[in-house]
Structure 1
Amino acid sequence: MVFSVRHSRLLLASAGIALIAGQAQAQMQTPGTAPAQGPDAPRTTAPAADPQGDAPIVPDAEFDKALPPLSGDLDAPLEPMPADTKAPATTAPATTPAADAAAQQPITPGTLPPPPAVDPALAQPLEPLSTFNTEPLRSVADVKDEDAPDIRYTNEVRGLDPLGLTDEFNSLSALREGKGKADNATQVAARGREDEQLAVRLMKSLGYYDATAISTVETLSGSEQKIKAIVSATPGQQYKLGTITVKADPTTPPDLVRRELPLRTGDPIEALRVQGAEANVSLKLPQQGYPFVKVGERDILLDEQTARGDYTLPVDTGPRSSFGVLRTEGEPVFDLKHLNVFPRFDEGELYDNRKADDLREALVATGLFNGVGVQPVRTGTILPDGTEQVDLIIRQSRGPAKSLSGGAGFQTGQGVTVEGTFTNRNRFPPEGALILGAIAGTQQQGLSATFRRQNAGKRDRTVTLVASALRANYDAFEAFTGTLSGRISYDSTPIWQKKFTYAYGFELVGTNESVFDFAENDRVRRTYGVLALPGQVQFDTSDNLLNPTRGYRLKLSLSPETSVQGAVRPYGRSLIEGTAYYPVSDSLVIAGRVRAGSIFGIARDDIAPSRRYYGGGGGSVRGYGFQRLGPLEPESSLVPGDEDRDEVKDLRPIGGRSLNEFSIEARYRFGNFGIVPFIDGGNTYESTLPNGSDLRFGAGIGGRFYTNFGPMRVDVATPLNPRPGDAKVALYISIGQAF
């Protein structure tokens, strides 16, 4: 049928062309008879009448019969249209001179019809505006204090529970976000359409690429304004990985990229799984010598018949590289000599971006930079092992070097302590800090000045010189002490926690203290001079400096000392301590501590009281006052009638030459908070070695608030076998775990 209509149109067009051509030929054969046209043409003849103007319209049947027969052959040539010899010649109509002259005459007044009569209502004056209601229409958004014309709805999602997507859908749902209220049903339907798309996106993220969803709105019976919006999800089939192809240059080892892309044939094509696998390539290759790796755009070709997707990933690995030298640009906080103290890698070592990140973190930890960046750059130098040398550019931006800090704490028996510190971290470059400190408390007051150089010739090695003056007034002693000390230490830091650390140094101490004189049966003041060479080593396998949850620590301290008080008396101080941490679960850690100390080579009464061993307090046996455990003054020292000291509780500790302590805690954490029940035990003794007798126990419970710089601790404890005069309850507030 289409082809026949096409032929008909061609034949009709041919006939039209033939007719026009015939008319043109007739006019050319009769020159001078064609009517003139245009504005200058003479208008002397009357218009000729149309001979067919009154003829009836040819019926369709007669018109169709006059058409030539059509052929169904598309390739047949077009037949010529026969000329119509009976058609009369057409001429253009002509106008008469009379009609033309009449058209040029001006309008004569009175010849037009009269205008219509004016409506009397239009002649009346307008009504004043005050008679009209000028209050504008209000929309739903204009209603503030009145009940808005809204509707209530409930919503439900179906089909996502088996996929485990209901919770995620509800957290992102537009219907849920509307909280069951809308202006009208159209708004509810629009939110439903948004949730349709959300449901499809979530299902596709799990590999259901044929997923569909539809939302419907139902009116609940019994309520005209209560409707229910339902989103029904249909996941369809889940697509899984087919062939996995990685397009990358050769690597060392050869399967490096594929090994670090943890995808397997048959795995569901889940968005998070695929993105995580590609991120793993970007993470692991720079750790194995490829710092310039770039992961391209993945291509997954899905097959509906097999529900498989062939996965292709282009990876530009870049050259296999080794560490070169450091360069620097920007504001020079450190020169290259000091910068080369920080790296934990050697030149020529296979590149590992973890070590480059460690370098940047160590620079940040100095606190002297406003911003610092470490970026690898290619050099084009090929080393003998085939790797390319990569230099590290360190971009420095100077930051403020001065800071103020402070802290406060409270312990029963020690009172309130407030400390403040002013630090200029780069007063003596590089990293030579000047620290001025002050301490003010109910039982101690003092000032100190400290010079500290960090990363002194070696990363995390610190040289410290301290000059201080302190007044301490405790139950055990009252002392005015001046100290000059120096220390070299190799310490752990939050960036690099080391298994083995050490410290050694010297102390020059001059102190005037109150001491109990057994010969006089009373306290007297004596002045001591002490020279000490303290040293310490520690082995640490714990997982965190401030809040360990697994591992153990062993620490040994040894200090040869000489006490000068009338005579020179050399002696030694030793202390050994071990702590262990065992995670029972993710939220519960059992922590334990044991400690033992000994002073040998000198009588107790020849040792300055401030350098003896004491027990009790927040870092010792909780439940007992600070330094309250151990030998006390004899009761004979009490003077009858002395209103200030006529009770046993006023017997003051005099310290000992040895101690032993242990503690066990159950650290239960929930979120940023924790509860810690604990039990402590221990004592101090006059003997050189602890004998384990007369142990005193304390128990209690603590609260923890965990911050990014460590836990804040509040412990409440009570002595289980108190002596006369021991308090019933002790409170400790500080920062950090007890051990």
Structure 2
Amino acid sequence: MALVAASPAAAQIAQPGSAPGKGPDSPKPAATPTPSASDTEQAQPDPNKPIIPESDFDAALPPLSDDINAPLEAMPVEAAAPAAQATTIPPITGDALPAAAAENPELTAPLTPIGSFDTQPLQSATDVKDKDLPQIRYDTTLVGLEDLGLDSQFNSLSALKDGGGKAANATQVQARAKEDEALAVRLMKSLGYYDGTAISTIEAEPGDGGRIKATVSATPGPLYTLSSITVKADPVVPANLVTHNLPLRVGDPIEAARIQGAEANVALVLPQQGYPFVKVGDRDILLDDVSARATGAYTLPVDTGPRSTFGQLVTTGDPVFGVEHLNVFPRFDQGDLYDARLTDDVREALVATGLFSSVSVEPQRTGRPGPDGTEQVDLLVRQVKGPARTLAGQGGYSTGQGIKLEGSWTHRNLFPPEGALIGTIVAGTNEQGLSGTFRRSNAGRRDRTFTALASANHSNFDAFNAFTGTLSARWSYDSTPIWQKKFTYYYGGELVGTNETVYDFAAGERRRRNYGIVAVPGQIEFDRSDSLLNPTKGYRLKLNVSPEASVSGGVHPYVRTMIEGTYYYRLSPSLVFAGRARAGSIQGIARDDLAPSRRYYGGGGGSVRGYGYQRLGPFDPNGDPVGGRSLNEFALEARYRFGDFGIVPFVDAGNSYESSIPKGSDLRFGAGIGGRFYTNFGPLRVDIATPLNKRPGDSRVALYIGIGQAF
């Protein structure tokens, strides 16, 4: 007691404090007698009196040094033993640290790999899915849009319709109905009913085992019409260019599709009329729902840009073509009024060369004055080089010609610009050959082509067996897939050396003869059809003339001619009637002085179907065709198409004759039916035909497979 009284602060430090234990394992307090009331009053402390006087507390604190960098002093530790002796922890000096306590081996053990944990979540009763649980069935009814002609659009976009009349619960049906409310409002606004409203109701269908009915009711309200049309644009030439090409009138319904189409027409037509930089701004429609009539004031800002004429071609990117060759492609002259269609035409022609991976043609402002107060615009050609080499192949089969396979390798720009080298190999049951071709496309003029050919071929048909070498050159002006021309032509020259079997009627046997042939072939064609590979209307007229001379035991000059006309008539979108007539004549030489490969033959897939290849005309005593000096052919087809497929019944007629003028008698007829599969590059054709006035030796059925229509 004396120690406590002498130093209360030290006694509290020496005797550690303790908090009352809590919990099931805390020690139970010893039983104490219940204090009396007088004892309680004496033991009650004064709440205003401090537990430890401040002077005693301050005296018990250790002295503090003013040096903040001084080492910490040793902390005395006083045990709560009866002797109350203190021990001092020695200070740590140097870099040595006391040994760490032993680690718990469970803490140093490696963690279990994450992949070994079972990540499958626990399944609760609410997660169980029963595929046999019943679904809610519902019917959808639309009211109010039928008279506006919007019911089909609504049905194609409806969330209720898309659900197929099934839903997991009524809440899902209600959510779909809310979506269809908004859909109905959007559709009405698209036609000018801007006050239109829609509401949906969900109700049980009486007497139908839980089936419900979803009804979407639409109320269009008044139709808004245009009260005024204002175009904000700079003056143009002609003055009504913008308003004339904005097909809107006061009183028209404010129909979204019609207004958008009218604005698109302005953006399309003005660049075709000299304004390449036109920009159509954002429209403003001020609705008036206060007046007696529901109207809207329409305002459209249009930035026309300068009126422009064509300037020069400039280029950037890969130098596939220089400016000199690029100037071959435009179909306009410098100073012509700008037309976006002619700009697109240049780009399409460049694409058709096949030498670009990408190419663009864009108008560029120059500030240079043009004629009639216009501004000249240059066309910037951005070139990105593409692969110049191509491997190609094609094949076919027909009765008489057998199988024919052809493969080619092409380098389209080996001799720039557009100087192509083409190697071709032909393998077939009746034909084999090799050829090399040099072709200069767009030679000094767009779509004009120069071609030089060297070839060696072997042909083995019933009519002749020939080994032929050819050198030829030709200039041509051709139609292309992007520009089908009304008038085309070609002309050139040929040198042909051939060794062929020919039946010698004087000797009564086949012999081989050598022929040297010089020819100057030419062709002109007038084309008014609507397609190169699959015409459906129009007509074509073609004339071939080839002055030639044959050298074999003498010089024999002659002229080969062929005239052909085709006509196409579309009876309906699915049915087209097509007809063809062709006649040929060779003047100035006897048939037996003419090389068999230069004679006319009938029969085959491009002639009279049903008869074998080259098997129409005169025969030798062995039953082999010998050909003639004249030919006539006729054909009629009914081309019925459904989707990507078609059926074509046909009738053909014709023959070849020994005389130089074709006859109208002794025609041979063939009939059959064909199938067509239409692709993006033309129809695939399979024809089966039979001869109607069959001769001894003719097959009953002939088969033809190829690409493109027969004519």
TM tier relative to shorter chain: 0.7 to 0.9
Gaps of 5+ in 2: 1-43, 52-120
Instruction: Determine the C-alpha separation between the residues in 2 that align with 1:159 and 1:725.
Output: 74
Q: Offset of 1:137 from its aligned partner?
A: 2.2
SS at structure 1 position matched to 2:270: helix
Q: Which of residues 515, 525, 529 is equivalent to 2:512?
A: 525
SS at structure 1 position matched to 2:579: strand
Instruction: Determine the C-alpha separation between the residues in 2 that align with 1:571 and 1:587.
Output: 46
Amino acid at match of 2:627: G
Q: Give CA deviations for 1:416-444 in whole Å, capped at 9, x if unaligned.
A: 11111111111111111111111111111
Q: Which of residues 650, 673, 679 is equivalent to 1:701?
A: 673
Instruction: Determine the C-alpha separation between the residues in 2 that align with 1:233 and 1:443.
Output: 74
Aligned to 1:361: 348
Amino acid at match of 1:190: A
Aligned to 2:279: 294
Instruction: Determine the C-alpha separation between the residues in 2 that align with 1:500 and 1:374.
Output: 28
Aligned to 1:11: none
Aligned to 2:563: 576
Aligned to 2:40: none
Aligned to 1:271: 256
Q: Offset of 1:101 from its aligned partner?
A: 8.9
Is 1:401 the counterpart of 2:388 in the alignment? yes
Q: Offset of 1:279 from its aligned partner?
A: 0.6
Instruction: Determine the C-alpha separation between the residues in 1 that align with 2:145 and 2:654.
Output: 60
Aligned to 1:477: 464
Q: 1:225 to 1:420 in 2, by over 3 A?
A: farther
Instruction: Determine the C-alpha separation between the residues in 2 that align with 1:438 and 1:220.
Output: 76
Is 1:162 the counterpart of 2:139 in the alignment? no
Q: Give CA deviations for 1:284-341 in whole Å, capped at 9, x if unaligned.
A: 1111101011111111222233122222111111111000000000111001111111
Q: Offset of 1:543 from its aligned partner?
A: 1.4
Amino acid at match of 2:282: E
Is 1:687 the counterpart of 2:623 in the alignment? no
Is 1:283 the counterpart of 2:227 in the alignment? no
Instruction: Determine the C-alpha separation between the residues in 1 that align with 2:508 and 2:212.
Output: 92
Aligned to 2:47: 103
Q: Give CA deviations for 1:359-400 in whole Å, capped at 9, x if unaligned.
A: 000000000001101010111111231111000000000000
Q: Give CA deviations for 1:493-540 in whole Å, capped at 9, x if unaligned.
A: 111111111101111111111111101222211111111110111111
Q: Offset of 1:105 from its aligned partner?
A: 5.2
Amino acid at match of 1:210: D
Aligned to 1:675: 647
Q: Is the Cα–Cα contact under 8 Å of residues 335 and 371 in structure 2 kept in the other structure? A: no
SS at structure 2 position matched to 1:629: coil
Aligned to 1:349: 336
Q: 1:138 to 1:254 in 2, by over 3 A?
A: farther
Q: Which of residues 217, 226, 229 is equivalent to 1:241?
A: 226
Q: Is the Cα–Cα contact under 8 Å of residues 308 and 370 in structure 2 kept in the other structure? A: no
Instruction: Determine the C-alpha separation between the residues in 1 that align with 2:508 and 2:205.
Output: 94
Q: Offset of 1:184 from its aligned partner?
A: 1.2
Amino acid at match of 1:183: A
Is 1:312 the counterpart of 2:299 in the alignment? yes
Aligned to 1:718: 690
Q: Give CA deviations for 1:81-122 in whole Å, capped at 9, x if unaligned.
A: xxxxxxxxxxxxxxxxxxx99433589xxxxxxxxxxxxxxx
Aligned to 1:78: none
Q: Offset of 1:224 from its aligned partner?
A: 4.7
Aligned to 1:424: 411
Q: Which of residues 299, 313, 321 is equivalent to 1:326?
A: 313
Is 1:607 the counterpart of 2:607 in the alignment? no
Q: Which of residues 532, 535, 544 is equivalent to 2:531?
A: 544
SS at structure 1 position matched to 2:407: strand
Amino acid at match of 1:150: Q
Amino acid at match of 1:565: S
Instruction: Say which is worse superposed, 414-423 or 343-352, in terms of deviation.
Output: 414-423
Correspondences of 1:142-181 after superposition (within 5 Å): 143=129, 146-148=131-133, 150-181=135-166
Instruction: Determine the C-alpha separation between the residues in 2 that align with 1:391 and 1:274.
Output: 33
Q: Give CA deviations for 1:464-501 in whole Å, capped at 9, x if unaligned.
A: 11111111111111111111111110101111111111
Q: Which of residues 617, 620, 624 is equivalent to 1:652?
A: 624
SS at structure 2 position matched to 1:598: strand
Is 1:183 the counterpart of 2:155 in the alignment? no
SS at structure 2 position matched to 1:385: helix
Amino acid at match of 1:152: R
Aligned to 2:487: 500
Is 1:384 the counterpart of 2:333 in the alignment? no
Q: Which of residues 543, 553, 559 is equivalent to 1:566?
A: 553
Q: Which of residues 634, 637, 651 is equivalent to 1:662?
A: 634
Amino acid at match of 1:104: N
Instruction: Determine the C-alpha separation between the residues in 1 that align with 2:315 and 2:606.
Output: 46
Q: Offset of 1:228 from its aligned partner?
A: 2.2
Amino acid at match of 2:174: A
Amino acid at match of 1:536: Q
Q: Offset of 1:158 from its aligned partner?
A: 2.3
Q: Offset of 1:684 from its aligned partner?
A: 0.6
Amino acid at match of 1:293: V
Q: Which of residues 235, 238, 246 is equivalent to 1:250?
A: 235
Q: Offset of 1:138 from its aligned partner?
A: 5.1
Instruction: Determine the C-alpha separation between the residues in 2 that align with 1:673 and 1:308.
Output: 51
Q: Offset of 1:139 from its aligned partner?
A: 5.0
Instruction: Determine the C-alpha separation between the residues in 1 that align with 2:274 and 2:384.
Output: 28
Instruction: Determine the C-alpha separation between the residues in 2 that align with 1:253 and 1:391.
Output: 23
Instruction: Determine the C-alpha separation between the residues in 2 that align with 1:592 and 1:228.
Output: 60
Q: Offset of 1:178 from its aligned partner?
A: 2.0
Calculate the TM-score normalised by the size of structure 1. Answer: 0.79
Instruction: Determine the C-alpha separation between the residues in 1 that align with 2:251 and 2:204.
Output: 45
Aligned to 2:323: 336
Gaps of 5+ in 1: 1-99, 108-133, 638-650
Give aligned pairs, total. Answer: 597
How many percent of aligned residue pairs carry the same amino acid? Answer: 69
Q: Offset of 1:222 from its aligned partner?
A: 4.1
Q: Give CA deviations for 1:136-177 in whole Å, capped at 9, x if unaligned.
A: 32557x63x733553232323222222222222122111222
Q: Offset of 1:237 from its aligned partner?
A: 2.2
Q: Offset of 1:240 from its aligned partner?
A: 2.0
Aligned to 1:445: 432
